[in-house]
Amino acid sequence: MLVDTHAHIDDVKYDEDRDEMVVRAKEYGVTRIITMGDTMVSSSNAIKLAEKYDGVYAGAGVHPQEALSLMPGDYDTLAQWMTHPKVKVLGEIGLDYYYENASREKQQEIFIRQLDVARQMHMPVSIHDRDAHGDTMAILKKEGRGLTGSIHCFSGSYEMAKELLKMGWFLGVDGPLTFKNAAKLPEIIAKIPLERLLLETDSPYLAPVPKRGRRNEPAYVKYIAEKVAEVRGISFEEVASQTTQNAINVFNLD
């Protein structure tokens, strides 16, 4: 039994076989999928998909690359969406200094305001952090108090991981763990408590080995779980059981 805690199954890459893809995930033992919004439109689509499919839940939020698309009234809409029974997380939100489609100041502004919505609505969050470790940590220390959730596709140092764990956050591990150039990520995943790990695919992106280079999908979270078991020297069943329980606890899944 597995949970993919971060996917984007509203993506157009699934338009021709979305039903089959959801069925295939279940055949691979993936009992639950959280599909994340990254704009207001995709967040609305994520909620519709969660309503359509059993075992699919939604996240709603605006990604830092889409910061300029967010309008003042959208924060009220996000808050309202948080009351939907199948919306389990505010996300995907955060900072992205790799592309910088919006200024760093604007990204920080909408990140902080969305964290405030999560706090008011008592919701966990899913955080995107790309090339922005310092500012992400600074904002979480100041504006993220009392919040929890996942640091999506964790790419920081072991020192950063330890600090995040002390602050009550969980680390999301994705396809890059299986890559040959994974650098220090396997070592970090081997060290941190299994009780603080969440499995993700980020579908349709970042397909793990042996599917690297293809369209990713939630079924492939199995390969990430296998790699976690390998680097930790434990059984696949233990990884599946504990990370599923982690997901249920963090995101209040059925």
Q: Confirm whether residue 92 is marked as ligand binding.
A: yes
> Minimal CA–CA distance to 47: which of 35, 55, 58?
58
Omega before 210 within 30 of 0, i.e. cis: yes
> Minimal CA–CA distance to 32: which of 8, 53, 59?
53
Q: Confirm whether residue 133 is marked as ligand binding.
A: no
Q: Confirm whether residue 20 is marked as ligand binding.
A: no
Return the CA Rg of the chain.
Answer: 17
For 59-109, the DSSP string reads EE---GGGGGG--TTHHHHHHHHTTSTTEEEEEEEEEETTT-SS-HHHHHH
Q: Confirm whether residue 202 is marked as ligand binding.
A: yes
Q: Confirm whether residue 122 is marked as ligand binding.
A: no
Q: How far is the C-alpha of 189 from the C-alpha of 227, rounded, in Å?
A: 10
Q: How far is the C-alpha of 39 from the C-alpha of 195, rounded, in Å?
A: 30
Q: Confirm whether residue 128 is marked as ligand binding.
A: yes
SS3 181: coil
Binding residues: 6, 8, 92, 128, 152, 202
Binding residues for a divalent metal cation: 6, 8, 92, 128, 152, 202
